[in-house]
Protein backbone atom coordinates (compact mmCIF):
# COMPACT_ATOMS: atom_id res chain seq x y z
CA UNK A 1 0.00 0.00 0.00
CA UNK A 2 1.27 3.47 -0.86
CA UNK A 3 2.28 5.97 1.83
CA UNK A 4 0.18 8.69 0.20
CA UNK A 5 -2.98 9.19 -1.84
CA UNK A 6 -2.56 9.52 -5.60
CA UNK A 7 -5.67 11.71 -6.04
CA UNK A 8 -6.04 10.56 -9.66
CA UNK A 9 -3.17 12.73 -10.86
CA UNK A 10 0.39 12.35 -12.09
CA UNK A 11 3.13 13.02 -9.56
CA UNK A 12 3.92 16.54 -10.81
CA UNK A 13 0.24 17.54 -10.88
CA UNK A 14 -0.31 16.06 -7.42
CA UNK A 15 2.69 17.89 -5.93
CA UNK A 16 1.57 21.19 -7.48
CA UNK A 17 -1.99 20.71 -6.20
CA UNK A 18 -0.81 19.96 -2.66
CA UNK A 19 1.67 22.87 -2.64
CA UNK A 20 -1.02 25.24 -3.93
CA UNK A 21 -3.60 24.18 -1.35
CA UNK A 22 -1.10 24.19 1.55
CA UNK A 23 -0.07 27.73 0.57
CA UNK A 24 -3.72 28.82 0.44
CA UNK A 25 -4.45 27.20 3.82
CA UNK A 26 -1.55 28.95 5.56
CA UNK A 27 -2.29 32.30 3.89
CA UNK A 28 -6.09 32.29 4.45
CA UNK A 29 -6.44 30.07 7.52
CA UNK A 30 -9.07 27.82 5.89
CA UNK A 31 -10.00 26.36 2.51
CA UNK A 32 -12.82 24.24 1.10
CA UNK A 33 -11.84 21.10 -0.80
CA UNK A 34 -12.61 17.38 -1.07
CA UNK A 35 -12.03 15.03 1.85
CA UNK A 36 -9.17 13.06 0.28
CA UNK A 37 -7.30 16.21 -0.71
CA UNK A 38 -7.82 17.65 2.77
CA UNK A 39 -6.28 14.58 4.38
CA UNK A 40 -3.17 14.92 2.20
CA UNK A 41 -2.96 18.67 2.82
CA UNK A 42 -3.21 18.07 6.55
CA UNK A 43 -0.07 15.87 6.51
CA UNK A 44 2.06 18.52 4.84
CA UNK A 45 0.65 21.48 6.76
CA UNK A 46 1.06 19.87 10.17
CA UNK A 47 4.70 19.11 9.34
CA UNK A 48 5.37 22.74 8.38
CA UNK A 49 3.68 24.10 11.51
CA UNK A 50 5.59 21.62 13.73
CA UNK A 51 8.83 22.79 12.10
CA UNK A 52 7.90 26.43 12.76
CA UNK A 53 6.99 25.70 16.39
CA UNK A 54 10.28 23.89 16.95
CA UNK A 55 12.40 26.74 15.47
CA UNK A 56 10.33 29.80 16.46
CA UNK A 57 12.80 31.23 19.03
CA UNK A 58 15.99 30.14 17.28
CA UNK A 59 17.40 33.51 16.17
CA UNK A 60 19.83 36.20 17.30
CA UNK A 61 19.00 39.90 17.49
CA UNK A 62 21.75 41.98 15.87
CA UNK A 63 22.19 45.75 15.60
CA UNK A 64 23.59 46.91 12.26
CA UNK A 65 24.29 50.25 10.65
CA UNK A 66 22.53 50.91 7.36
CA UNK A 67 22.67 53.76 4.88
CA UNK A 68 19.24 55.20 4.11
CA UNK A 69 18.51 57.86 1.51
CA UNK A 70 17.39 61.18 3.00
CA UNK A 71 13.93 62.22 1.82
CA UNK A 72 12.14 65.55 1.60
CA UNK A 73 8.56 66.29 2.77
CA UNK A 74 7.12 64.82 -0.47
CA UNK A 75 8.98 61.51 -0.03
CA UNK A 76 11.48 62.14 -2.83
CA UNK A 77 15.21 61.62 -2.40
CA UNK A 78 17.30 64.68 -1.54
CA UNK A 79 20.12 65.28 -4.03
CA UNK A 80 23.10 67.62 -3.85
CA UNK A 81 25.66 68.61 -6.45
CA UNK A 82 29.15 67.16 -5.99
CA UNK A 83 31.78 67.77 -8.68
CA UNK A 84 29.09 68.82 -11.16
CA UNK A 85 26.99 65.66 -10.64
CA UNK A 86 23.76 65.18 -8.70
CA UNK A 87 24.31 62.67 -5.90
CA UNK A 88 21.78 61.28 -3.43
CA UNK A 89 22.39 62.19 0.22
CA UNK A 90 22.50 59.19 2.61
CA UNK A 91 22.11 59.08 6.40
CA UNK A 92 23.48 56.31 8.63
CA UNK A 93 20.82 54.62 10.75
CA UNK A 94 21.12 51.81 13.32
CA UNK A 95 18.64 48.97 12.78
CA UNK A 96 17.88 45.92 14.87
CA UNK A 97 17.38 42.77 12.79
CA UNK A 98 16.71 39.09 13.46
CA UNK A 99 19.47 36.82 12.23
CA UNK A 100 18.42 33.19 11.82
CA UNK A 101 20.60 30.52 13.38
CA UNK A 102 21.55 27.69 10.98
CA UNK A 103 18.77 25.30 12.00
CA UNK A 104 16.08 27.99 11.61
CA UNK A 105 17.51 28.99 8.23
CA UNK A 106 17.32 25.35 7.15
CA UNK A 107 13.71 25.19 8.38
CA UNK A 108 12.86 28.34 6.41
CA UNK A 109 14.32 26.82 3.24
CA UNK A 110 12.41 23.57 3.82
CA UNK A 111 9.21 25.64 4.04
CA UNK A 112 10.06 27.48 0.84
CA UNK A 113 10.38 24.11 -0.94
CA UNK A 114 6.66 23.53 -0.28
CA UNK A 115 5.12 27.01 -0.23
CA UNK A 116 4.47 29.12 -3.33
CA UNK A 117 5.03 32.88 -3.34
CA UNK A 118 1.95 34.97 -2.57
CA UNK A 119 1.40 38.49 -3.90
CA UNK A 120 -1.05 40.61 -1.95
CA UNK A 121 -3.09 43.21 -3.85
CA UNK A 122 -4.98 45.90 -1.88
CA UNK A 123 -8.70 46.09 -2.78
CA UNK A 124 -8.57 49.72 -3.98
CA UNK A 125 -5.66 48.96 -6.36
CA UNK A 126 -7.11 45.94 -8.16
CA UNK A 127 -5.54 45.51 -11.59
CA UNK A 128 -2.55 47.73 -10.75
CA UNK A 129 0.85 46.14 -10.33
CA UNK A 130 2.43 49.15 -8.66
CA UNK A 131 1.26 48.80 -5.04
CA UNK A 132 1.34 45.00 -4.69
CA UNK A 133 3.55 43.35 -2.09
CA UNK A 134 5.02 39.90 -1.59
CA UNK A 135 3.87 38.02 1.52
CA UNK A 136 6.61 36.16 3.40
CA UNK A 137 4.81 32.94 4.42
CA UNK A 138 7.71 31.43 6.41
CA UNK A 139 7.81 34.67 8.42
CA UNK A 140 4.05 34.33 9.00
CA UNK A 141 4.56 30.74 10.15
CA UNK A 142 7.34 31.70 12.58
CA UNK A 143 5.83 34.93 13.97
CA UNK A 144 2.04 34.46 13.86
CA UNK A 145 1.17 30.77 13.68
CA UNK A 146 3.97 29.13 15.73
CA UNK A 147 3.43 31.18 18.95
CA UNK A 148 -0.27 30.31 18.82
CA UNK A 149 0.54 26.56 18.82
CA UNK A 150 3.59 26.65 21.13
CA UNK A 151 1.95 24.59 23.89
CA UNK A 152 0.20 22.17 21.56
CA UNK A 153 1.56 18.77 20.50
CA UNK A 154 0.20 18.28 16.99
CA UNK A 155 -3.38 18.57 15.79
CA UNK A 156 -2.98 22.04 14.30
CA UNK A 157 -5.69 21.57 11.64
CA UNK A 158 -9.36 20.63 11.75
CA UNK A 159 -11.43 18.98 9.02
CA UNK A 160 -15.18 19.73 9.10
CA UNK A 161 -17.45 17.87 6.68
CA UNK A 162 -19.71 20.25 4.73
CA UNK A 163 -21.81 18.52 2.07
CA UNK A 164 -21.56 16.49 -1.15
CA UNK A 165 -20.43 18.53 -4.14
CA UNK A 166 -23.19 19.19 -6.65
CA UNK A 167 -21.39 18.02 -9.80
CA UNK A 168 -19.88 14.68 -8.78
CA UNK A 169 -21.15 14.11 -5.22
CA UNK A 170 -17.60 14.11 -3.79
CA UNK A 171 -17.70 14.89 -0.07
CA UNK A 172 -16.56 18.49 0.45
CA UNK A 173 -14.89 19.54 3.68
CA UNK A 174 -13.60 22.72 5.29
CA UNK A 175 -10.00 22.39 6.47
CA UNK A 176 -8.88 25.12 8.83
CA UNK A 177 -6.17 25.99 11.30
CA UNK A 178 -7.43 25.31 14.84
Q: What ranges do the domains of the chain cover?
A: 11-57+102-177, 59-100
Q: Report pLDDT digits (tens) over 128-171.
A: 777 788 999 999 999 999 999 999 998 999 999 999 999 899 99
Q: Report pLDDT digits (tens) over 1-53.
A: 468 889 889 999 999 999 999 999 999 999 999 999 999 999 999 999 999 99
Farthest-apart Cα atoms in the chain, separation: 76
What span, in angstroms and rounded, lies between the C-alpha atoms of 29 and 50? Answer: 16
- Asked if CATH classification 3.30.360.10 holds for the domain at 11-57+102-177, the reply, yes or no, is no
User: Under a CB-based contact definition with an 8 Å cutoff, are residues 105 and 139 in contact?
Assistant: no
81 bridge partner residues: 86
> CA quadruple 13, 40, 20, 117: dihedral positive or negative?
negative
**Using the 8-state DSSP alphabet, how is residue 144 labeled?**
I
Q: Which helix (H) or strand (E) holds 98?
A: strand 90-100
What span, in angstroms and rounded, lies between the C-alpha atoms of 5 and 26? Answer: 21
Q: Which helix (H) or strand (E) holds 67?
A: strand 59-69
Amino acid sequence: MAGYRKLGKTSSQRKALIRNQVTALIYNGHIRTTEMRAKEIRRVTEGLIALAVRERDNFDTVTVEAKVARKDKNGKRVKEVVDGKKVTVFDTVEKTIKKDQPSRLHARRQMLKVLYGVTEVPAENKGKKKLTKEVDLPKKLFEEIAPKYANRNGGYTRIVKVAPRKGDAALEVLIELV
